Structures are given as structure tokens and as C-alpha cells.
Structure 1
């Protein structure tokens, strides 16, 4: 599996080292699947952590070193319902050939969760859904 992590996921993992999101990163680092994110997601997560929870930055930096970062392929197809800022996240997931995109952003990605008809065949899930399906 190739698992793409969005900014919301990264923020959550950094804020809660004992939580499900951090556990997914542990599993990926142990070789159970490949972890990916994008430069945009890393920047957004770090910016939000710096503003709200600066004490989480060192752990975030450690997590980020375990994840391969890619740049979005802005020519890649994406679901039309996504706003541009989320489209680039999806396009980065397409670029790394992700099988899954994990997010907690239900506002924008919620209607697309667990669908099998998305570009690139990517399955969008919450952390809990992903872990339950493993």
C-alpha cells in the first residue's frame, strides 16, 4: 500500500503522539506500507502547529523525516468538488500513486470518503476507517 497523509492528519499526529494518526506513521516506518505527503501539506501542518501548539514542532519534525514528500502534479485529474487548496493535495496523492489518502477534513473530503471511482483509484479515508480496514 501507498498511503498519502494530508496536513490535517500530520497536525493530529504531531499533537497526539499516542494517537491513531501517529500509530499509522509508526506502522509505515516499520515497513507495513509506504508513507507519502506533499510539501504543501508539510508546510500547512507546520504553520498551524507553530501558531497553535509550538511545543509539538520537534515531534512533528521527527515524524516528517519518516515520510516521503512529493510535489503535486497539477495536470492530474481530481474530483471537481474539491476546492483548489485540497485539489493540490489530491494531485500529490495521484503523483505518488497512492492507494489511500488519509484525512480528517470531512468538510471537503467527506463526500468522497471510501469511494472506488476517484481518479487514480485512490481511496480517501479517516484514520479510524483505514485502521479498521487493515
Structure 2
């Protein structure tokens, strides 16, 4: 079964746009099509952004988390490619939980590694639309 690790951008987008593709990924995870995983860092980053920008979406966000396995953030380990410290935590958490995919909206930092599992220790990094296109 596919195990999808979602970063804060994807979590934020899913709660802000419940009819969108990111929300669909979580919905299908809740139905058992794949596992949905994230870490505490991504959850807290999304919560902070909602509190600042869209506090009315916090309730929807908390409801979405019922279909998401939230794991502790992995802060130790090595990364074979260059990432910022915060993005390294996201990647290492995905690696530690044996995610098959890391879904992100962060093209600036993860863009060079999209669809390059030979570089990313076997994890397929993609945007949500890329993942859904299969």
C-alpha cells in the first residue's frame, strides 16, 4: 500500500479548499486507498498559518487530521541532498516512516528533487496534482 507523507503546504491547502485535490487525497486515505502520514512539525506549521491567515479554517483542519497519522518529527539523520533544516526534518520524517511518496507544495525547496527517487532514497517527491495523475 502506498504511504503518503504530506507536508504543511498540502495540509493547509486541504483544509482551506475542501473541494480541492489535496482534500481528495486525504479523503481517499480515509477510505483506505493509501495511508496518509505527516509529522508534528508540519501540523504545527499549518496550525500557525491558519491562526494568522484563516482562523475560521482551524476546525476543518482538525477534522481532516482524523484521517492522518501524525508522527513525531524526525530531527536526526543524514540527507544525501541539500535541504534547509526545516525541509530536512520533513524529508527525514518521510524516510523514517517508510513513506513511498512525499507530497508537497514547496516547489522552491523540493522542486529539484521531484520524481527523482534515485536521489531521494526511494521516496517519490511530487505535488498533489502530479501524484493524482499517476
Q: TM class, shorter-chain normalised?
A: over 0.9
> What's the Cα RMSD here?
1.1
Corresponding position of 1:13: 14
**What corresponds to 1:126 in structure 2?**
127
The residue aligned with 2:53 is 52
Runs of 5+ consecutive residues of structure 2 not aligned to the other structure:
none
- What is the alpha-carbon distance in structure 2 between the residues aligned to residue 73 and residue 42 of structure 1? 14
Hey, what does 2:76 align to over in structure 1?
75
Instruction: Note the C-alpha offset of 1:120.
Output: 3.4
Aligned partners of 2:113 and 2:120 also within 8 Å = no
What is residue 90 of structure 2 aligned with on the other side?
A: 89
Whole-angstrom distance in 1 between the partners of 2:121 and 2:28 = 24
CA contact (8 A) 2:74 2:90 kept: no
Gaps of at least 5 residues in structure 1 are: none
| Cα distance, 1:65 vs structure 2 | 1.6
Q: C-alpha separation between the residues in 1 aligned to 2:19 and 2:70?
A: 23
Residues 45-101 of structure 1 deviation map (CA, whole Å, 9 limit, x = unaligned)? 010011000010000000112100112333333243210010000011011100000
Paired residue for 2:33?
Answer: 32
Q: Measure the CA separation in 1 of the matches of 2:75 and 2:119.
A: 16
The answer (yes or no) to whether the contact 1:2–1:33 under 8 Å persists in 2 is yes
